[in-house]
Amino acid sequence: MTDHAIEDTHGRVASWRLLLGNPVTVASAVVLAVVLVIAVTAQWLAPYGINDVDVPNALQSPSGAHWFGTDELGRDVLSRVLVAIQASMRVAVVSVAFAVVVGVTVGVVAGYRGGWVDTVFMRVVDVMFAFPVLLLALAIVAILGPGVTTTMLAIGVVYTPIFARVARASTLSVRTEPYVAVSRTMGTGHVYVLVRHVLPNIAGPLIVQTSLSLAFAILSEAALSFLGLGIQPPQPSLGRMIFDSQGFVTLAWWMAVFPGAAIFVIVLAFNLFGDGLRDVLDPKQRTMLEARRQR
Amino acid sequence: MTHPIVRFLARRLAYSLIVLLGVLVVVFALVHLVPGDPVRIALGTRYTPEAYDALRSASGLDRPIIGQFFGYVGSALTGDLGVSFRNGDPVATILVDRLPATASLAVAGIVIALLIALPAGIWSALHEGRISDGIVRVTSQFGVSVPDFWMGILLIALFSTTLGWLPTSGYRPLLGDPGGWLQHLVLPGLTVGLVAAAILTRYIRSAVLEVAAMGYVRTARSKGLSPRVVTFRHTVRNALVPILTITGIQLATILGGVIVVEVVFAWPGLGRLVYNAVAARDYPVIQGAVLLIAVLFLLINLIVDLLYAVVDPRIRLS
């Protein structure tokens, strides 16, 4: 093994050790794993049908038969929360994937090429940053009409600039590294340099940003659905369930509390996991952590 | 040679104008990106050929597109943002009517946020690694992860419906009924402020930590200055510059982010205006509100940059 490879392996082992050594990060990873299982298997986990109306049993408080109680039409809140988590996660994952692909492409090309390409791309990003997130998403929904696909696109577009900025900043610092220059002088093509040298070296900050963006995407989807512009009924969504609970808060607290708690727990887990990743993947933070550990 | 601060001002202003031009292009494009005919969609069941022609020419949509753009920019610069598709009122007037409610909410939110975040963030940074720091960090993570509309509904359930201390929703103008204004402002202000406080606390903590790691702080400490002097004169004072920036950005974010909170509290501000306009497909109102909020966003950022340059000489000289 070459020295470089040994160092690389050591770095990776140390990263994993740091990541697993933080109980908060591990706990949030476990929560996220559970959320992922729910997202994949919600239909089978749900004890009742999401639209099984049972008016005689409306507004029942949590019990053995209905763990999260029932809503104003007697529908099982737990089943609806589970299926809504699935919908939320799907929107979040697709929209953030869109933002990563488009944003990273724009950022890497801008940072690597420099010159007028960089100027034009980054001015466009600046313009997008001038619009508050939810407002831009609302404007996109106003154009394309409400619905799941529009929601995914709107949230994806809104979070693209942040990935472009992170990718560009990291690319700029990697571009001047000697190994990139050496690779270029050996006649390697630009695409190969980007894929082989630039992308792996800017992955750290991008992974951290992805985790944090998933948290925001869940919140944005919930907000859009709350406003009636996101996921449309009869498909349940966490945001809309909270909206519908407004008239029943004092009669049936469970209608508001459980969907909200689901959003809160998922967002918190993504945030904490993202923070844990940052501690490991951000070299500056990492040296501080290691130094503290050795004390 | 011109003064460096004047050159800095000119550069920032030119940059803001370029972004403003981009914002205008996006806002203008909004109505043209609608699949189908926006006028037809907006009229809905009220459609008649006469009403269609009247609305189309009133909104200038019958002119060539380049002409429309320059017409839009020209009118926007003179404060003419067109008329509402729904009731024919001038958009600028509608926006001016709604601005005070949103401004009250945003200012209340940022004041509440700073009252919590400044002491919490500074305390947390100065006690880095201790239990109190951990509690502040965890609490702020909780605050960042709570959906604001959910918190609003829970606050209403507790303080209005159950305890009956405060009104559930609505707005009173400050000048007409100051007492009612304040009463109605408490819950929405708290909702906006608590979420903003969580975000600000995190930034303030890291701003103070960053300054605390500087060489001059170590020097100050090693030459025997009292901890109080080091903390307030050397650390916190220098951290105020980044804190100022973050507060400005947060204020701008609140202005654009209060949509959902305004809907929960039936607050007649810009956010609820946008929401109703999206539901009614009232494109001129959407365009006007989006433009106004984006301009306020740019303006606040510009002001923050200028204050920054005034406070910190290194920035304007670089």
Contact criterion met (CB below 8 Å) for B187 and B265: yes
Q: Which helix (H) or strand (E) holds B146?
A: none
Q: Which of A5-9, B145-149, B174-178 has the lowest mean pLDDT?
A: A5-9
| Smallest CA–CA distance from B21 into chain A, residue | A127
Q: Which residues, in sequence order, are bridge partners of residue A76? A: A70
The average pLDDT across A73-89 equals: 90
CB-based contact A25:A277 (threshold 8 Å): yes
Average pLDDT over residues A135-160: 88
> Residues, chain A, total?
295
Pairwise CB contact (< 8 Å): A131 & B30: no
Contacts of B199 in chain A (CB under 8 A): none
- Closest CB to B147: pick one of A228, A249, A263: A263
* Cβ atoms of residues B121 and B204 within 8 Å: yes
Query: In the structure encoding, which two tokens stand for residue A74, read together?
Result: 């007697």
Cβ distance B253 to A250 less than 8 Å, yes or no, reads no
Q: Which of A43-47, A234-238, A276-280 has the highest mean pLDDT?
A: A234-238
**Residue burial A147-158, b: 16+ Cβ < 10 Å; e: rest:** ebebbbbbbbbb
Give tens-digit pLDDT for B192-207.
999 999 989 988 888 8
The mean predicted confidence, pLDDT, of chain A is: 84
- Confidence class for position B212, pLDDT limits 50, 70, 90: confident
Which one of B138, B141, B149, B293 makes the best mutation probe of the A interface by having the most chain A beta carbons within 10 Å? Answer: B149
Angle between helix B237-257 and B91-126 (nearest 10): 140
Percentage of residues of chain A with pLDDT beyond 90: 30
Residues of A with CB under 8 A from a CB of B: 123-124, 126-127, 130-135, 138-139, 141-144, 215, 219, 222-223, 226-229, 239, 242-243, 245-246, 249-250, 253, 256-257, 260, 263-264, 267-268, 271-272, 275, 292
Report whether A103 contacts A63 (CB < 8 A): no
* Rounded Cα gap, residues A205 and A100, in angstroms: 12
Chains A, B: CB pairs < 8 Å: 132
Candidates B260, B265, B272, B298: best to mutate against A (most CBs of A within 10 A) is B260
- Average pLDDT (B11-36) is 83
Question: How far is residue A154's CA from residue A152's CA, in Å, rounded to a whole number?
Answer: 6
What is the ipTM metric for this complex? 0.84
* Cα separation, B211 vs B161, whole angstroms: 46
Phi, psi of B83 (to 5 degrees): -120, 150
Contacts 24+ apart (CB under 8 A), B51-59: B55/B85, B58/B83, B58/B88, B59/B83, B59/B85, B59/B284
> Among partner residues A135, A222, A246, which is closest to B290 by beta-carbon distance?
A135
C-alpha B29/C-alpha B37 separation (Å) is 14
Count Cβ atoms below 10 Å from residue B147 Cβ, excluding itself. 24
How much is the average pLDDT of B241-265?
85
Mutual orientation of helices A253-281 and B131-145 as an angle, nearest 10°?
120
Between residues A44 and B218, which one has the greater pLDDT? A44
Q: Using the beta-carbon criterion (under 8 Å), do A131 and B256 form an inter-chain contact?
A: yes
| Residue among B147, B255, B281 whose CB faces A260 most closely | B147
User: Once rounded to an integer, what is the mean pLDDT over residues B271-291?
Assistant: 87
Amino acid (one-letter) located at A110: A
Give the sign of the dihedral formed by CA B18, CA B21, CA B25, CA B27. positive
- List helix spans (H) across chain A: 3-21, 23-45, 77-113, 115-129, 133-144, 148-175, 178-185, 190-193, 199-226, 238-245, 253-281, 283-294
| 8 Å CB contact between B246 and B259 | no
CA distance B222 to B30: 59
**Secondary structure letter of residue B79 according to DSSP:** T
Residue A226 pLDDT: 92
**Predicted local distance difference test score (pLDDT) of residue A5:** 52
Rounded Cα distance between A274 and A162, Å, is: 15
Q: CA angle A43-A44-A46, nearest 5°?
A: 70
B18 chain-A contacts, CB cut-off 8 A: 123
Give the pLDDT of residue A129: 80
Q: Is the dihedral of CA B267, B269, B273, B274 positive or negative?
A: negative
Between A15 and A28, the higher pLDDT residue = A28
Range of lowest pLDDT (A7-11, A27-31, B36-40, B89-93): A7-11
DSSP B266-301: T--SHHHHHHHHHHHT-HHHHHHHHHHHHHHHHHHH
Is the per-residue pLDDT at B13 higher than 80?
yes
